[in-house]
Structure 1
Amino acid sequence: YFTLCIMGKLQSKVKRSTSKYRAIDGVEKSFPTTTVQQYKPAHSDAVTSVTALTSDLCVSGGKDKSVVVYNWSCGVVLKRFLGHERDVTKVACLLESNRVFSASRDKSALMWTLDSNLEPSQEFNGHDLVVTGLAVSPDASQLCTGSRDNSICIWDVETGDCLQKSSISRNLVTHICWVPGEPYIIQTSEDKMIRIWDSRELQVAHTFPMKQYIQMHCSVSQDGHYCTTSSNGFGGEGCEATLWDLRQTKSKVCEYKGHLQTTAACIFLPNSMASTPLVATSSHDCTVKIWNRDNATCIASLSLDGSGPLSSLAVCNSSYLICASFNSGIHLLRMTNTRGLELQEFARF
């Protein structure tokens, strides 16, 4: 492991970045030029999905059909899983686990085990179209998948059996997340609906008011109290993320508006990052923004020039985010709080 890290550092290259940040008052400020480490790329094509496995390992999937486990602290590929016949659309895992899940345009989902060979440990076949939603239950016993075939499936992770399947007309699934410590699953769709499913009977337990634009992504706070969803759009219309209260009221709290194109991802940041709760978003407009969760003030904004659409966003640890892009691989972003919260690009791979 130590040798791999040293090799990764020797392979890295340094390039200059002239990133700009926006202060809370909306006045743009330029800070001194920083160096961006260029590590060995994780993928040879667009990266479609990324998530954190440990504090320094991430998992990603891409149009090159591969699933990659990458040590971003060293710039080293630890595992490259090849088994899908078409683009990987989503990856998922539980933190600190040794299992990784992937979904694909080949209509399947696969499970990979880090300490075994490079063959899939389990296959989940049953959808009729591309699999676009993927989430692991908090106890790691079940996998939930969703597809453009309008269906949601619950699978037994150990056997690969489909335990339940439910279909709703026009429910073209875009994303799925599991509520921590609960039997509930949140799902976004191209029909502009946001649904909460009870996984025990696989029935819809609640629907939020229909949004004006297609809902692209959803995530849940670690305490299970809040959910964010994000919207497609263009020219600043739509393009927002929305905060929902998952408790008794199940109402909209606020909206995060400022992106100019589709907001592809929205995530909650750990409370250790700031004195106030934070939400981060990434967009097809090549920017990542950090917001005050409760009053929707944009605290920091970073433009990743040349990245193309940003497709996915995840938290590494209390200081770093990882962001997937179509044109420039995966971006490692560092958050600092010395002069107010700032966001910097630290490395690309």
Structure 2
Amino acid sequence: MPLPSCQLKPALPQVFRRLWAVMGKLQSKLRHSTYKYSRPDGHIEEGVQTKASLEYSPAHVDSVSVVATLSSDLCVSGGKDKIACIPKSKQFFSASRDKSVLMWDLQGSSQPRQELSGHAMVVTGLAVSPDSSQLCTGSRDNSLLLWDVGTGRCVRRASVSRNLVTHLCWVPREPYVLQSSEDKTIRLWDSRGLQVAHVFPTKQHIQTHCEVSMDGHMCISCSSGFGGEGCEATLWDLRQTRDRVCEYKGHFQTVASCVFLPKSMALMPVIATSAHDSTVKIWNQDTGACLFTLSLDGSGPLTSLAVGDITSLLCASFYRGVHVLRVDCSRELELQEVAAF
């Protein structure tokens, strides 16, 4: 059940303890999902799906900008917040437009455990180090700050002109932080001195999001755009070559989020993207072919994706809250909406 928001500070995102528990009035609706898209090879594909999904009373009264997974049955979602979870714990950080970052502990008080202040503008990126000892934050003030999680002290600060941060993520088992920016670039930072270690070739559109593969070898970024111009995701090699490997084109509006899917979800390496065109797409990571498109009609722009468990994805939207999507590989790879709250 969601924690009562009236007991918490405004910066605390909504928290849901069990994804499959009853969250308000349940409505079972028959939904029709249609899609039509052009693959990179020019082939037009279209299809119609009819399915029943469970729709609960909305947990949010406004749009949801981010969803993150704490465990297989626990997620955190935020309206205008940014969220970063501490691995294997019930602690997470949230950042809001008041320029501060708060640390929360679900097993403790309803008040924040820490408050970190140091940015001059809204905080737009959060990333926790693999060992949970450090937090990296980024802002529209062009700066990155590195924090000691134990003491709440800022230990390093760096700034790059026009580097309006859109997202941050930490490279697994490495001292590197990946960052996307409104200046259309992806930067790799070395946290040991908080210095830029590499800048990937500049794209044609704003880079809205970035994600690193679980083995730390690859990363994805996604682009803003409209009418199919831009609107792509790009796979980069994080190892010595650091080249662009593949592009995934087929969305018609800004791609807001991208994730690598676990090996348990498919027989091949796959990634998922969500976009402002209300679709979630699954792609063959190696070839760039679109394997499946799910249209969440009436949801408006889709803003965030997170892997829920070994078979599910969570997707945040403007108009219908958070969607639970199931990946089915029993025959051909399919994606189905099974619930929304």
TM-score scaled by structure 2? 0.90
**Per-residue CA distance 1:163-217 (angstroms, 9 max, x = gap):** 1110110000000000001000000101111100000100000000111111000
Distance 1:133 1:189 in 2: 10
Tell me the amino acid that sits aligned with residue 170 of structure 2. W
Q: Which residue of 2 aligns with 1:171?
A: 163
Q: Is the counterpart of residue 304 in structure 1 residue 322 in structure 2?
A: no
Q: Is the counterpart of residue 272 in structure 1 residue 264 in structure 2?
A: yes
Q: Is the 8 A contact 1:180 1:224 kept in 2?
A: yes
Tell me the amino acid that sits aligned with residue 50 of structure 1. V
| Residue correspondence of structure 1 range 1-349 to structure 2 within 5 A | 8=22, 11-20=25-34, 26-31=44-49, 33-62=50-79, 87-88=80-81, 90-349=82-341
Q: Is the 8 A contact 2:87 2:130 kept in 1?
A: no
**Structure 1 residues 157 and 343: CA distance shift in structure 2, 3 A:** same
Tell me the amino acid that sits aligned with residue 28 of structure 1. E
Q: Is the 8 A contact 2:24 2:56 kept in 1?
A: no
Distance 2:180 2:280 in 1: 21
| Number of matched pairs | 321
**Structure 1 residues 324 and 9: CA distance shift in structure 2, 3 A:** closer
Distance 1:10 1:255 in 2: 41
Tell me the amino acid that sits aligned with residue 60 of structure 2. H
Distance 1:21 1:337 in 2: 19
- CA-based RMSD: 1.8
Deviation at 1:30, TM superposition (A): 2.5
Tell me the amino acid that sits aligned with residue 55 of structure 1. S
TM-score scaled by structure 1? 0.88
Tell me the amino acid that sits aligned with residue 299 of structure 1. L
Tell me the amino acid that sits aligned with residue 56 of structure 1. D
Secondary structure (helix, strand or coil) at the match of 2:22 reads helix
Distance 2:319 2:176 in 1: 35
Q: Identity of paired residues, percent?
A: 60
Q: Is the 8 A contact 2:251 2:275 kept in 1?
A: yes
Q: Which residue of 2 aligns with 1:83?
A: none
Tell me the amino acid that sits aligned with residue 187 of structure 2. R
Distance 2:89 2:53 in 1: 30
**Per-residue CA distance 1:262-282 (angstroms, 9 max, x = gap):** 000011000111111000000
Q: Unaligned 5+ residue runs, structure 1?
A: 63-86
Give the stretch that moved more between structures: 211-220 or 33-42. 33-42
**Per-residue CA distance 1:314-337 (angstroms, 9 max, x = gap):** 100121100001111011111111
Give the stretch that moved more between structures: 152-161 or 256-265. 152-161
Q: Is the 8 A contact 2:171 2:178 kept in 1?
A: yes
Distance 2:315 2:160 in 1: 32
Distance 1:114 1:278 in 2: 33
Give the stretch that moved more between structures: 181-190 or 96-105. 96-105
Q: Which residue of 2 aligns with 1:69?
A: none
Secondary structure (helix, strand or coil) at the match of 1:212 reads coil
Distance 1:311 1:338 in 2: 28
Q: Is the 8 A contact 1:21 1:343 kept in 2?
A: no
Q: Is the 8 A contact 2:164 2:181 kept in 1?
A: yes
Distance 1:339 1:276 in 2: 14
Tell me the amino acid that sits aligned with residue 253 of structure 1. V
Tell me the amino acid that sits aligned with residue 197 of structure 1. W
Secondary structure (helix, strand or coil) at the match of 2:264 reads helix
